[in-house]
Structure 1
Amino acid sequence: MASPLTHLGDMPIEVFMRDYWQQKPLLIRNAFANFESPISGEELAGMALEEAVESRLVLENGKSGPWELRTGPFSEEDFLSLPPSHWTLLVQAVDQWLSEVAELKDFFRFIPDWRLDDVMISYAADKGSVGPHYDHYDVFLLQAEGKRLWRQGPKVDESSPRLGSTPLNILKEFDTENSWELEPGDMLYLPPQYSHWGIAEGACTTISFGFRAPSAALILEDLAAEMAMDLPDSQRYTDAGAEVSSSPAEIDPNSVNRLQQQLSAWLQQPEKIAQWFGAVMTEVKYPDTVALDAGDAADWREQMPQGLPLLLNPASRTAFCREPSTLFVDGEPFPAPLAFATKFAESHEVSWLDIETFAEIAQPDGLIDQLVSQGSLIYPPEDF
């Protein structure tokens, strides 16, 4: 694994996290010195031919109108019929298919792994763009090949006017506050909701590192349902000590405040919240991809003594918590020794030494068997 970045350009990571993370944009010149793209535009187009890969094409002047969206998989004829300019190919989760791209995520481990989502890579023809828009998540935009002009606008939200003629969230109005031309190795950080518009200057490739953040709606809906399962029916709204009502039909402020206090008390279950949060933040984005690698639990017992470790599937996600000691893998909580859970979540591999040290994880139908059977743990490639 590569070491996490200690600086963004000349800025210490601690300063970035204190003054910029989720607060304001930052241009980082030469964030990766002498950067060479791990994938070419032609190779990216080849990935977009595969059914298992999520891909999209955005044409600024499409057959169906402005900012036309097409979804993959595509054919070679689709690419041959594209105009010479003003289009962009976007491929999701390239890190799940190319180890060279997956390794780039290690540089961002100054932020918890469970916050980082997949790595999207876009290839744009000259003047290609996905239009002025905003995202609900933080993103680092690393220029990989060619040049791209980034225009950054103000923070916007759901109330900002959008074009109604396209399924894309294209902003109807865009006011440029900053403008930068990025070259290979340069990187732009954008917090959530900052409007931006990237336009290729000649053909170019951009690598996007996006971060997960569950919405308030999901948290309230999903967490409430999870916690409600353990609340007895006898646990109800109470108003002991209430004053005599002067207006019997009113939902008075005291009653509302009392309910808020009771809700807060019902939520005082940090271990339950940790279990829910760990499962949600490690939910795999493409479960079918993980399932493709499901193995026979008996096989690893033959290979492991030969010195071959088991590796976390590139499409899988993992994290751990201390209270109670739990390893989360692909949205599932597994009780595990804390020392093992910590080591595995950090290293993403299981060695024979781990088996000898933590014998309980190797029991029949135990943790290792379960992870191998669901495809979360895989055998290393032949060139490992």
Structure 2
Amino acid sequence: MPASIYLDHNATTPVATEVVEAMATALRNSFGNPSSSYALGREAAEQIATARDAVASLIGAPAQSLVFTGCATEANNLALLGVARACPPGKRHLVISAVEHPAVMAPARYLEAQGWRLTLVPVDETGQVSAEAVIDAVRPDTALVSIMLANNEVGTLQPVADIARHLANRDVLLHTDAAQAVGKIALDVEALGIDLLTIAGHKFQASKGVGALYVREGTPIRSVLFGAGHEKGLRPGTENVPAIIGLGVAANLAAQRLASNDTRLRDRRDQLHQRLGADIPDLRLNGHAEARLPNTLNVSFPSVSGQALLDVVRDTVMASVGSACHSGESTPSGVLGAMGLDTARALGAVRLSVGWDTTAKEIEAAAVALVQAWRHLADGR
């Protein structure tokens, strides 16, 4: 049995060897400031341009529409607060789902505290919003709708393209936080019909500390940081050249994997689900059975705490719980609560997320460890 099995790829991914090598070379050799006109500066700028092409290609976007940021949280803040800064006085209403990541929820709440009106659209028991409910929430003063593409906890995919079609000609912008989706599923900004899209590098084997925001040409948006004119004036500050180069390499790797082996993640996820379900009666799937990320399995183990289960297997399986602990008291996560799960089921939830390098042998070993831990806890209750 492997010493430890990493099944928390939705939290972060191991940095690909190719990315490490590209970043190390850049750290040694590409230290020029991209804004400088001499050879070292021009070389750094050219490498940023190459990376921009690669990342934009991964999402079907023009290279010039991509703004590099320090992370997905920054990209989400730029999307919401930047659009808010550019809106006319009569447009001060925002619509988001009830299961958005804190990187969207927090800036939305900030805008609400500044006098904006905020509508949270509920989700069903699978964690999915209704496109019709989102559209029904839109008003004449709505400036922006922000609906995540894939939920980070249960993997449920949201009907973003349907929402975009309904919003056509409504004078309302649409942003999607695609941090969990990019690199795991094929996507195209034109097919989605969105105006802004957030990318997180460390979710698909780039390093931490780099992200991007797609901004459709003509989208009204202003910088929320103040400085020089980097990234078309939307993200001032000298670019993180090594991390951006690594992001470009990771984007190329993701594109190759999606083109050649797009069922690998799903096969590993389903192998784990079937293996656990065969030995654990009443194991419950959380999230949409079909419309979800191919790598994400969120299940509730009956009669035990998910955290207690992971504590037992912590030297063998690395994963996350589907509940949060506050002030020493276990309570259901906001996502599972929004889905209407009862407390016992929510507290028994565990998120198991596989990666491109996860092997069938690792899945089998993880399943054995999890089943044994569940039996130990269930028998001792």
Report TM bin, short chain: under 0.3
Higher percent of residues as helix: 2
Higher percent of residues as strand: 1
The alignment's TM-score, normalised by the length of structure 2, stands at 0.24
Of structures 1 and 2, the larger Rg is shown by 1
The alignment's TM-score, normalised by the length of structure 1, stands at 0.23
